[in-house]
Amino acid sequence: MQQDVLLEHVRGRKDALRSRVIILLSLRAGLRACEMAKVEWSMLLDPHGKGFSQLGTGRPDSEEETLAGGYRCIQNCEAPWLPNSIVNWFVALFKEIEFVGCSSHSGRRTFITTTAKKTHLAGGSLRDVQLLAGHKSLLTTQAYIEGDSHAQRKLVSLL
C-alpha cells in the first residue's frame, strides 16, 4: 500500500513526526497543501492531548510531540511552511522513493476515491464525499474518483 511505503520511508528521520503528519493529512484527510499549512497541533490531538486519533497515528513518540495550542505542526524551524514548501516536499519525497506521476495532490485523490468506495458503509452518498472534499460541484468530486474494473465485474455478477 502506498501509505505503508511512504510512512516506512520517513521513519527514523529527524523530522519523522512532521513527515508522518503531512502524509496522513494528505491520505486520510484529503487536505490540499494550502490546508495542511494551516493545521495546528491542537487540531490533531485527542481531547487528552495523547495522540493523533483522527489520523490514526497512535500515541506521540515523545513529550515534544504532544504540543498543543497555537503551534503549527508543519514547521520548518520557527516558521510555518508555506503551501509551496509542502508541494516541494512531496516532489522530493516521491523522487526519493521513485513514485512516478505522484504529487502533493495524490493523497487527496486517494482519499476521495477511498471515501467514495466506503461511503455506503456509513449510509452516506457521493454528496457527503463532495462536502468532505470541499468541492462546490459534485462533478469535480466525480473527476477524482477512479474506477475499478474488478469491482465493476463483481457488480455485474450480482445482477
pLDDT tens readout for residues 50-98: 555 545 444 444 444 444 344 456 654 456 678 999 999 999 999 999 9
Residue 101 domain flag: no
- What is residue 35's predicted lDDT score, i.e. its pLDDT? 92
Predicted confidence (pLDDT) at residue 29 exceeds the cutoff of 50 = yes
β-strand partners of 80: 75
Output 143 or 40, whichever has higher pLDDT.
143
From 96, 127, 147, give the residue that closes a domain: 96
Query: Do 92 and 110 lie in a common domain?
Result: no
Q: What is the DSSP letter of 39?
A: -
Structural domain boundaries, residue 41: 2-96
Share of the chain above pLDDT 90, in %: 52
Residue 116 domain flag: yes
From 75, 96, 117, give the residue that closes a domain: 96
Predicted confidence (pLDDT) at residue 106 exceeds the cutoff of 70 = yes
Output 52 or 155, whichever has higher pLDDT.
155
Q: Distance between CA atoms of 110 and 28, rounded to whole angstroms?
A: 9
Share of the chain above pLDDT 70, in %: 76
Query: Do 12 and 48 lie in a common domain?
Result: yes
Query: Do 89 and 110 lie in a common domain?
Result: no
Query: Do 88 and 129 lie in a common domain?
Result: no
Where are the extended beta strands (E) located within 25-108? 75-76, 79-80
Query: Do 79 and 111 lie in a common domain?
Result: no
- What is residue 141's predicted lDDT score, i.e. its pLDDT? 94
Predicted confidence (pLDDT) at residue 136 exceeds the cutoff of 50 = yes
Predicted confidence (pLDDT) at residue 124 exceeds the cutoff of 50 = yes
